[in-house]
Amino acid sequence: MGTSTSKRIEIASNWLMGLVILLILFLFLLGIGSAAWYTHWAPEAPRPDDMPAYLAILVSALNGAFALNLGILLGIRVAFGSRSPGRFTKERILKILAIWYGIGWVLATVFWGMADFTKDSEEVVAVLPEVSETGIKIFVAVLFALLGLRTAYVRARGRGSEADSAQSD
């Protein structure tokens, strides 16, 4: 009896976690869509001050959380290599969140671009440039990290071949 109860609690917990994740994903894109609406399509647009403050704060907070998630995922990939995760693992959740963040970043950048990449608070809702800039910073950081890894790999490989040639002499 105890085992089936704990199994039911685990299943309910997984479903609840899944629903919370779906809600977070929905709210992030809803916030970006709302920012685009108030910037471009609302009657008498742009009206960035009409965007609900709680939604702008939520998008800003989720932007930071998703950026952190992406960093964690990339750190796991670099540290442990590529794996094909199981059915519903934590790594798979991280991947879903990273992909969703990428979608939100692209949308925010497109909507910001439609506003001529201005940061004028009377022309664009501030979360559009914020999400776009964070995504660009992550992209640049990833490029530098990959360059650093490649350089370290080439140097380590060069040392290995030097050691091999020294042993054969």
Provide the residue type at 137 as one letter: K
DSSP 12-53: HHHHHHHHHHHHHHHHHHHHHHHHHIIIIISTTS--GGGS-H
> In terms of Cα–Cα distance, which of 59, 71, 64, 70 is closest to 24?
59
Give me the sign of the Cα torsion angle 67, 72, 78, 82. Answer: negative
For residues 127 and 60, give the distance between their C-alpha atoms in angstroms, rounded to a whole number.
6
In 81-126, which ranges are continuous DSSP H helix?
Answer: 90-114
Q: Which two tokens mark 113?
A: 């671009």
Q: Which two tokens mark 43?
A: 């009657």
Q: Which two tokens mark 87?
A: 């059915």
pLDDT at position 151: 75
pLDDT at position 161: 55
Cα 128 from chain centre = 15
* pTM check: above 0.85: no
pLDDT digits (tens, 9 = 90+) for 131-168: 999 989 888 887 877 777 667 667 777 765 555 555 55
DSSP letter (8 states) at residue 87: S
- Taking only Cα atoms into account, the Rg of the chain, rounded to an integer number of angstroms, comes to 22
pLDDT digits (tens, 9 = 90+) for 78-107: 666 665 555 556 777 778 888 889 999 999
CA dihedral angle for residue 115, residue 127, residue 102, residue 11, rounded to 10 degrees: -150
pLDDT at position 169: 54
